[in-house]
Structure 1
Amino acid sequence: MNAQPDTTGRADLTAQRQDDFRDRHVLVTGAASGIGAAVARQLLAQGACVSAVDLDAAGLHRLRAQATDAATGGTAPSERLWTAVLDVRDAAQVEQTVAQAEAALGPLHGLASVAGVLEMGAVIDLEDAQWARCFDVNATGVFHVCRAVARRLRDRRTGAIAVVSSNAATTPRTGMAAYAASKAAATQFARCLGLELAPHGIRVNIVSPGSTDTAMQQALWALGSSRDTVIAGDPARWRLGIPLAKIATPDEIAQAVLFLLSDQASHITLHDLRVDGGATLDQ
């Protein structure tokens, strides 16, 4: 007789993760689509209260529509979801929105900083506005949101922050200098923040995805790339392929974010978790 797989441990881990987030309040930036939306949905499914913010009002409306009235964790997901349109480049608006989120759902316990933009182009062809946009959102925006949340977590001496960066932060990419440099800035900022917050019991970690099936990735394919060429690699552009031979899904990246926010990662801080199918050979 063939032995049946023992799923007890997996079930126990799932239950533990749900206990980690039940009734905890997490702010998610970039929550209208892609990885941010996946993070918000998974948090809601595990009983968290979620403040979902983004510039895309229509995307936030779709997220709310997906939060059904089915009971989860004792309350309906829609009752545990607060949404607001937010431009992370505006420091005053960030402070105001974080205060409003806490007024709506209670003190924050965590942050998933996911909002980001992509600008493509060789360095000699880049416009000043393209460079500025990447840094304004991917670096300065991360600073604004992390600062506002960190001030509150520090005073309570509890909580965790996960910053979604990119494997491009440590691996050169042709045509992606503005994006890669801004993500490198966000990665190093998160490490410094984690070092400063560690004495207060606050953990800060980074998730660095590779190619992920989002609107951002699909925009690259529209410029002449494709799913197959990304997986196979492109020696002419000094780019390795993906050893696991697949593009990540937003949910796969979100699972890494939730792990680092959870108590299961209680002794992990300053860590950069690469989730790219081996595309950067775990540099």
Structure 2
Amino acid sequence: MSPDAEFRGRLALVTGAARGIGAAVTRALVARGARVVATDRDVQGLDRLAADHPERLTARPLDVTDPAAVEALVADVERTIGPLDVAVNVAGILRSSPVTALRDEDWAATFAVNTDGVLHVSRAAARRMVERGTGSIVTVASNAAGIPRTGMAAYAASKAAAVMFTKCLGLEVAAWGVRCNTVSPGSTDTDMQRALWAEAGRTDLDAAARQVIEGDLATHRTGIPLGRIAAPDDVAEAVLFLASDRARHITLHDLYVDGGATLRA
């Protein structure tokens, strides 16, 4: 099968699709033949994405923190477009702060998107995939889920919870042929990464990227052995592999895509 037909005839749902990794996953799925329902709270970003792929992409606004809205969207998609073969959880937020200054509302908001949102979407998709005896769910987490990071306790904890939730779900639905995996990126050139640098007062983006690559003893970070910041497409390729039949015997797996930054801690 040619690469551009790998997902032909399949329907995928992608959250957080308006930009960054979500947009890269959406574009890659479309390029390989899938029909994609792209969701996000950023309506303008969705519209721009849909304009580039009018034939195989349906843009639908969605707040993943609202379980009723998620259930309604998935039900409507299955009724009006078709059965979901793939669901990809990308929607996420980052509220950085030392724990001693962390606001309750920032902790709650982080978990509402990064963990509760994964529950809402995965649960709605898995219910229907189990009935059909097939399906693949991929959650984009973070390498911060597996190694402590200063100033990122809420983000790291929420992503760690999302990883373990996805593994537990995968164990429960494996008997019905539904696979559940996670992809854990490291530093990736996205709006979120650049906002984190700006928040830290790093106005020279090239210098900020070099510091990440070289490591920072003050924040207890090793560098990136491969010597580069990831591009969103690097993460998308890992997502598509796990979603595809090439990974048909892989489930409960957490694939790190971080250039070796965590030394696979």
Tell whether the structures are fold-level matches, with TM greater than 0.5: yes
Q: Which amino acid aligns with 1:224?
A: G
Q: Is the 8 A contact 1:122 1:175 kept in 2?
A: yes
> What 5-or-longer segments of structure 2 have no aligned partner?
203-207
Alignment of 1:95-110 (within 5 A): 95-110=71-86
C-alpha deviation, 1:252, in angstroms: 0.7
Scaled by the length of structure 2, the TM-score of the pair is: 0.96
C-alpha deviation, 1:82, in angstroms: 1.0
Q: Is the 8 A contact 1:82 1:101 kept in 2?
A: no
The corresponding residue for 1:37 is 23
- Between the aligned partners of 1:237 and 1:119, the Cα distance in structure 2 is 17
Helix, strand or coil: the match of 2:119? helix
> What 5-or-longer segments of structure 1 have no aligned partner?
1-11, 68-77
- Between the aligned partners of 2:170 and 2:119, the Cα distance in structure 1 is 12
Which of these two proteins has the greater Rg computed from alpha carbons? 1
Q: Is the 8 A contact 1:49 1:105 kept in 2?
A: no
- Between the aligned partners of 2:5 and 2:91, the Cα distance in structure 1 is 27
Q: State the 4+ residue runs in structure 1 displaced beyond 6 angstroms.
A: none
1:220 maps to which of 188, 196, 210: 196
Helix, strand or coil: the match of 1:118? coil
The corresponding residue for 2:128 is 152
Q: Is the 8 A contact 1:161 1:205 kept in 2?
A: yes
The corresponding residue for 1:280 is 262
Q: Does 1:90 align with 2:66?
A: yes
Q: Does 1:261 align with 2:243?
A: yes
- Between the aligned partners of 1:104 and 1:50, the Cα distance in structure 2 is 13
- Between the aligned partners of 1:278 and 1:112, the Cα distance in structure 2 is 24
Helix, strand or coil: the match of 2:111? helix
Q: How many residues align?
A: 259
C-alpha deviation, 1:228, in angstroms: 1.1
State the percentage of identical aligned residues. Answer: 59
Q: Is the 8 A contact 1:82 1:105 kept in 2?
A: no
Scaled by the length of structure 1, the TM-score of the pair is: 0.90
The one-character-per-residue Cα deviations of 1:12-34 (angstroms, maximum 9, x if unpaired) are 6xx2x444300100000000000
Q: Is the 8 A contact 1:102 1:108 kept in 2?
A: yes
